[in-house]
Structure 1
Amino acid sequence: MKSIPISLTCLLALAGCQVTPDRLPQAEPAPSAACYFPSADERALETSVDILTEWGFTLTSTDTSLGLISASRERELHGYYDPYDNAYGYGRGMSIFGGLGIGGGSSIGFGGVGFGGGIGQQPIEVERVSLFVNDAHIRISRDIRRFDHLGDLRESYSASNDDFCRRFQATFEQSLPADGRSL
């Protein structure tokens, strides 16, 4: 008996063991209930834009016919530790059996060892917020992404938490006229 049919049989048997996911991908953690609140204000889009720009966000896109606003802000992460940066005992910006080379941002290597990779660049955090304003409600979606000094995505998570949404809702309600109706 040849070994090829046996290995092919094993391969087919292992392929039959592949498992499909039991559910579709979901935002984890789930968005807070405070991220969906009522609003009867006619100027909810304009008020939301004013709040986001006041908080330091810049608009990335808007569609007033759909009632959608997307904004983002970024900040440098001084002293950010990337748990995956030195996973194999040597850094990404270090070459061991190199020659002369320049690469990846601003790394330089001579002879056997080169160091660098992102000198002068800071890790950054990008916070994105999307608001959907329909007839009587506002829905907030927020996520945070962290990039290392080379621009590689290192962390990403849903940040539609209770704190942010409650602060937004309180600021939104304070900016409404005293009688509760829009101007």
Structure 2
Amino acid sequence: MKPIPVTLTCLLALAGCQATPDRLPQAEPAPAAACYFSIGGADTQAVLRQSVAVLTEWGFELDSTDTSLGLISASRQEALHGYYDPYDNAYGYGRGMRVFGGFGIGRGAGAGIGLGFGGGLNQQPVEVERVSVLVGDDDVRISRDLRRYDTQGDMRESYSASSHDFCQRFESALKPGGMPSGRSL
């Protein structure tokens, strides 16, 4: 009988522990029903121009547009003063301070130390809000998400924010004379 190496035994044991996901990834929470609305046969190009006007009025910057597809992508970012990062002290390294990048010892002839000083000084955590608008022949679909980054630039939170309130405000702003002024939710 041939002996089985320990590493192969461990590999086979770990392979049996893997689980497959029970469903495909999806936006959570699901977009509100108000994020899909009819434009009643209006001119698609006019709706695209009005959508760009609404987004820029609300403080968004255009990331990309494709008028042949009827797609507009825009984003805005805001500094989060006093943002509490729930993961900041998760491993006991202290609040907002990363001194050492890491170290490692290799097998054979090799050892290394990585240093990274500074980090987090004079940097603000930010929230990035992204909106995508898809204008079809008879309808408009809106997708919105929020991402929060810590002082190191690491993403800490991300979620779908296609809320009923935002989409309803956007729809009312698209109607003639409905352009609100100032920043919206």
Q: CA, structure 1 residues 84+8, in 2 after alignment: closer, same or farther (shift >3 Å)?
A: same
**Cα distance in 2 for residues equivalent to 1:5 and 1:144:** 49
1:52 to 39, 52, 55: 55
1:80 to 75, 78, 83: 83
Q: CA, structure 1 residues 48+175, in 2 after alignment: closer, same or farther (shift >3 Å)?
A: farther
**Cα distance in 2 for residues equivalent to 1:94 and 1:127:** 27
1:93 corresponds to:
97
1:25 corresponds to:
25
The within-5 A match list for 1:117-156 is 117-156=119-158
Which structure 1 residue ranges, 5 or more long, are not aligned? 108-116, 177-183
Q: Secondary structure at the match of 2:173?
A: helix
Sequence identity (%): 66
Which structure 2 residue ranges, 5 or more long, are not aligned? 101-113, 179-185
Structure 2: which amino acid aligns with 1:93? M
Q: Secondary structure at the match of 2:156?
A: strand
1:181 corresponds to:
none
Counterpart contact for 1:47–1:175, Cα < 8 Å:
no
> After superposition, what is the alpha-carbon deviation per residue over 1:71-124, rounded to whole angstroms, capped at 9, x for unaligned?
00000000000011111222252448xxxx9845xx1xxxxxxxxx22111100
1:112 corresponds to:
none
Distance apart, 1:59 and its partner CA: 0.4
2:66 to 48, 57, 63: 63
2:16 corresponds to:
16
Q: CA, structure 1 residues 94+74, in 2 after alignment: closer, same or farther (shift >3 Å)?
A: closer
Counterpart contact for 2:144–2:162, Cα < 8 Å:
yes
Q: Secondary structure at the match of 1:37?
A: strand
So what's the TM-score if we normalise by structure 2?
A: 0.78
Structure 2: which amino acid aligns with 1:132? L
**Cα distance in 1 for residues equivalent to 2:145 and 2:98:** 32
So what's the TM-score if we normalise by structure 1?
A: 0.79
When the two chains are superposed, the root-mean-square deviation of aligned CA atoms in Å is 2.5
**Cα distance in 2 for residues equivalent to 1:120 and 1:14:** 44
**Cα distance in 1 for residues equivalent to 2:50 and 2:177:** 7
Could you tell which deviates more after superposition, 135-144 or 10-19?
10-19
Distance apart, 1:10 and its partner CA: 5.7
